[in-house]
Structure 1
Amino acid sequence: MRYLLLGIISLIPLWSHAQESEKKFEIKPDLHFRTFWMSTSYPDDFKNDFALGTSLGVGTKLSYGEHWSAKVSYRGFLNVWSSEIWEPDPLTNRGNRYETGLYDLLNPEDGAFGSWENLSLNYQSEKFDFGIGRMGINTPWINPQDGRLAPTMIEGATFNYRPEKSWEISVWYIYRMRVRGTKDWLRPGETVGIFPVARDVNGQPSQYFGNTKSDGVTVFEVSKKSQLGKFELSHTWAYNLFATYWTQWQNNWKSKSGLTWITGLQFGYQHGVENGGNSDPLLRYKDPNDKNWVVSGRFGLKKGKILSHLNFTKLGGEGRWLSPREWGKDAWYTFVPRERNEGYKSVEAFTAYLEYSPNSQWSVYSHLGFHWLPDVSDFQANKYAFPSYRQLNLGVKYNPESLRTMDFHLLVMNKEAIGDQELSAAQRYNKVEMIHVNLMINWRLN
């Protein structure tokens, strides 16, 4: 695919000479510099880690006339300064979970490397647009998850159709992916297991990494806007792994007093597909017999400079709800940055969000979440042996008016186990009893 795409892109300048004179060929450079400080601290017996990383994306957008464009970009990564994040924790012999994700998880000691990002040909009109090649993506279950030095990207094709202003239909086909925390472009099945694999349904270490077969993913989305809000439907089909059905309704209700009430409701259903990644049950990622459902809701209020909302999620069914952590963050309303609730048979979650934005430059926010999970000893229902936990996030965003191309984001997170749980060291390290700090700085030319 990439050789075909390179050939098409190389012909664009020739097309610009061959077509009518009013057609215009433009070149627009694109630069993105990102610096990320991350540190994780524990109260006593575990290994503390830190890392300062940078990445620089260099690219261009080639536009021809009103409809055609192509994007090309390359990103370099550098470990400026860090602890020995590639070394396991001495007490648990477990690897670092957070800081290593700034670089290449498949080669954690590689301090400098690069990767091609955008390499796409695009067409856009009033009614429809399409793209082919390497590009970004943002769907409920495959998304940028922009919590590291570079987002998750895909190689494939997309088509969007807008029959009228209130309707939009989108289709994605994903052939390969470069997931967050890696530099290589891999088939979907090859990406599953780059993040920790935890334990299988027999309580043994999972063996699906390197043994999962899935040659593609398709995503189908439909959205409709009306006076009653926005309704969205999506279907994610991961070949030979699973199918996830997702619906969401959201609406903001404005009152005469200046208040805006925020409401939202989500429903999801997931089942296994074919052999779940491998015909050998000991090597498979997903049990084909899994059938899970989820419901999530939101109720909030916006008044002037203050935004707040309460969220709940209930997950149930048979088997584990699985969506590769490599592919994106959770879609449900109770998602709190720096943790996911995936790999469980049941979840009950309640979160609260509060944001204060005094002006267009500053924003201060807080997440507070309570997440009740299956017992850590129940390996069939709790893949990661993760205890029920409370999470608190405090964040500050700053976008200076004098330099609109730059933004700053500070996030401090704390997680603690809920209740009086008897937890081993392995059930605490990387999971609870921590202070986790992120400082992100972005500068963009365009």
Structure 2
Amino acid sequence: MKQIALIVLFLMGLLKTGNAQEEEKKLIVTPDVHFRTFWMNTNYPDQELKEDYALGMSLNLGGILAYQKNWKFHFGYRTFANVASSEIWEPDPTTGQGNRYETGLFDLLDTKDRFFGKLETFSFEYSDKKFGIKAGRMGINSDWINAQDGRLSPTAVEGVTAWFAPDKTWKFLVWGIGRMSIRGSSEWLSVGETVGIYPVGRTVSGKPAQYYGNTASDWLGIWEVDRKIGKDSKIHFSNTVAQNLFSTYWLAFEKNKIVKSGILTIGIQSGFQQGVGNGGDENPDLRYKESEDRNYALSGRIGWRNSKWITHLNYTHVGGEGRWLSPREWGKDAWYTFIPRERNEGFETVDALVGYGEYRFENIPLSVYGHFGIHWLSDPKYAAANKYNFPSYRQLNLGLKYQPKKIKNLDLHFILMSKQPLDTENLTPNQIYNKVEMLHFNGIINWRWN
């Protein structure tokens, strides 16, 4: 951490030395405060499985120091509290499995810890109109490494990022990441140490996976290229390399066309993933990714929106040899069919069809929305193709967002999720608990001061 700060300060000094006219020295301090309350509960109405609830709170206290427009120092310390909960640290008596949802609000490495904190943000930045560099602890929003804002804190990374925009149509971005603080953790861990903290499923041979503490990966590298085409189209490319694990290529094209009733959107995504090195461990029973895996993904979207409505229909197909993998600790899926509270990584084949609709009220700051998706997955009998022993399912999310006008920067968000199997016959308790035949509710309150 100290070495990164010294390197960035040195680079910033070199960049500034060449300025012929020095602007008036001015320091601007902006507070960065984020309070978040999260209620979560999970029920299995037709099953005798363990039901849990939790009320968590987090508070980030920090600030941004801006100097001469180009320089910034950003810091923030976040505390967490388990205000009330069921015994979320106890496994389900029927399946022996641990809780998947409520424990993620707190520290997965110590689920009984009711109060803890961590230095979440500590970064230095220099930027001008065409170039920027930033180092330290910071947030990230890339295709496969992102904040995944579904718990009390986002995933953050420690490393260096730089961007270059030679004109209004091109932008180049690179990341070098050495450590991560995943949501649901009080620690800053190396890249390999983060793998296996969340539920890990099965190895390709069908044995319980044991990735945590057995996965060797020293760094993450990301490079991105964005190109605007005219006023209404853009192309995005990225390559995410997890050293000794895998390399994922991602390409997307989107076009927005103005029509009489609103804006029509068309999007196409494609991806390719391959294993790298020994996949995390020489031992096949501990290996995260098979080196011979070759996976591909195709995803499409057609949508329409105006001042009141946002709608889109999405389809994704994943295929190839081996499992498409991306640690759930690192972020949400990039494909268009992602629905909050479930992911489709860990499968050899996926076909997903998802529709979305949102209505924004005109006279009150309220919007309601819904996701409905059908997800056809690889047969659970084959562990090499279905990592989590997960049956094909349908998912319905109903949500409400409200931002009261009288309280600035306050927003409330409520989500009700239902997941049901497409085939209810011969399902085992292990294929139900944490997966299907469930109702899941989230109530979230956010307040920011910045």
TM-score by length of 2: 0.95
- Provide the rounded CA distance (Å) in 2 between the counterparts of 1:339 and 1:346: 16
Pick the aligned partner of 1:243 from 231, 247, 253: 247
Matches for 1:146-157 after TM superposition, within 5 Å = 146-157=149-160
Pick the aligned partner of 1:167 from 170, 174, 198: 170
Q: What SS is found at the alignment partner of 1:266?
A: strand
- Provide the rounded CA distance (Å) in 1 between the counterparts of 2:307 and 2:31: 38
- Provide the rounded CA distance (Å) in 1 between the counterparts of 2:83 and 2:272: 43
- Provide the rounded CA distance (Å) in 1 between the counterparts of 2:449 and 2:341: 28
Deviation at 1:122, TM superposition (A): 0.2
Corresponding residue for 2:387? 383
Q: What SS is found at the alignment partner of 1:325?
A: coil
Matches for 1:107-256 after TM superposition, within 5 Å = 107-227=110-230, 229-255=233-259
Counterpart AA for 1:146: D
Q: What SS is found at the alignment partner of 2:216?
A: coil
Work out whether 1:404 is the aligned partner of 2:408.
yes
Deviation at 1:71, TM superposition (A): 0.7
Q: What SS is found at the alignment partner of 1:5?
A: helix
Corresponding residue for 1:330? 333
Tell me the alpha carbon deviations over residues 234-282 of structure 1, each in whole angstroms, 9 at most, x when there is no partner: 0001000000000001111111x23311110000000000111112212
- Provide the rounded CA distance (Å) in 1 between the counterparts of 2:103 and 2:317: 31
Tell me the alpha carbon deviations over residues 344-387 of structure 1, each in whole angstroms, 9 at most, x when there is no partner: 00000000000000137111000000000011111110000000
Pick the aligned partner of 2:298 from 290, 295, 299: 295
Work out whether 1:52 is the aligned partner of 2:55.
yes
Matches for 1:414-433 after TM superposition, within 5 Å = 414-433=418-437
Matches for 1:216-365 after TM superposition, within 5 Å = 216-227=219-230, 229-255=233-259, 257-359=260-362, 361-365=365-369
Corresponding residue for 1:434? 438
Q: What percentage of aligned pairs have identical amino acids?
A: 53
Specify whether residues 160 and 3 from structure 1 end up closer, same or farther in structure 2 by C-alpha distance, changes over 3 A only: closer
- Provide the rounded CA distance (Å) in 1 between the counterparts of 2:318 and 2:24: 57
Matches for 1:50-129 after TM superposition, within 5 Å = 50-129=53-132
- Provide the rounded CA distance (Å) in 1 between the counterparts of 2:217 and 2:209: 17
- Provide the rounded CA distance (Å) in 2 between the counterparts of 1:220 and 1:275: 23
Counterpart AA for 2:264: W
- Provide the rounded CA distance (Å) in 2 between the counterparts of 1:63 and 1:118: 15
Query: Is the Cα–Cα contact under 8 Å of residues 157 and 180 in structure 2 kept in the other structure?
Result: yes
Deviation at 1:208, TM superposition (A): 2.0
- Provide the rounded CA distance (Å) in 2 between the counterparts of 1:4 and 1:95: 38
Q: What SS is found at the alignment partner of 1:431?
A: coil
Query: 303-312 or 425-434, which moves further after superposition?
Result: 303-312
Deviation at 1:72, TM superposition (A): 1.0
- Provide the rounded CA distance (Å) in 2 between the counterparts of 1:144 and 1:104: 16
Counterpart AA for 1:234: S
Specify whether residues 2 and 361 from structure 1 end up closer, same or farther in structure 2 by C-alpha distance, changes over 3 A only: farther
Query: 170-179 or 351-360, which moves further after superposition?
Result: 351-360
Deviation at 1:107, TM superposition (A): 0.4
Structure 2: gaps spanning 5 or more residues: none
Counterpart AA for 2:133: F
- Provide the rounded CA distance (Å) in 1 between the counterparts of 2:29 and 2:217: 37
Query: 417-426 or 173-182, which moves further after superposition?
Result: 417-426
Query: 180-189 or 413-422, which moves further after superposition?
Result: 413-422
Q: What SS is found at the alignment partner of 2:103?
A: helix
Specify whether residues 8 and 318 from structure 1 end up closer, same or farther in structure 2 by C-alpha distance, changes over 3 A only: closer
Corresponding residue for 2:449? 445
- Provide the rounded CA distance (Å) in 2 between the counterparts of 1:165 and 1:368: 37
Structure 1 segments, 4+ long, off by >3 Å, are: 6-9
- Provide the rounded CA distance (Å) in 2 between the counterparts of 1:260 and 1:4: 44
Corresponding residue for 1:33? 35
Q: What SS is found at the alignment partner of 2:325?
A: coil
Q: Please give the root-mean-square deviation of Cα atoms over the aligned residues, in Å.
A: 1.6
Tell me the alpha carbon deviations over residues 164-213 of structure 1, each in whole angstroms, 9 at most, x when there is no partner: 01111000000100001101001111100001111101011112221100
- Provide the rounded CA distance (Å) in 2 between the counterparts of 1:382 and 1:4: 40
Q: What SS is found at the alignment partner of 2:431?
A: coil
Specify whether residues 344 and 435 from structure 1 end up closer, same or farther in structure 2 by C-alpha distance, changes over 3 A only: same
Q: What SS is found at the alignment partner of 1:326?
A: coil
- Provide the rounded CA distance (Å) in 2 between the counterparts of 1:77 and 1:187: 22
Query: Is the Cα–Cα contact under 8 Å of residues 8 and 135 in structure 2 kept in the other structure?
Result: no
Deviation at 1:7, TM superposition (A): 10
Query: 352-361 or 97-106, which moves further after superposition?
Result: 352-361
Counterpart AA for 2:408: R
Q: What SS is found at the alignment partner of 2:249?
A: strand
Structure 1: gaps spanning 5 or more residues: none
Specify whether residues 260 and 88 from structure 1 end up closer, same or farther in structure 2 by C-alpha distance, changes over 3 A only: same
- Provide the rounded CA distance (Å) in 1 between the counterparts of 2:75 and 2:215: 31
TM-score by length of 1: 0.96
Query: 152-161 or 43-52, which moves further after superposition?
Result: 43-52
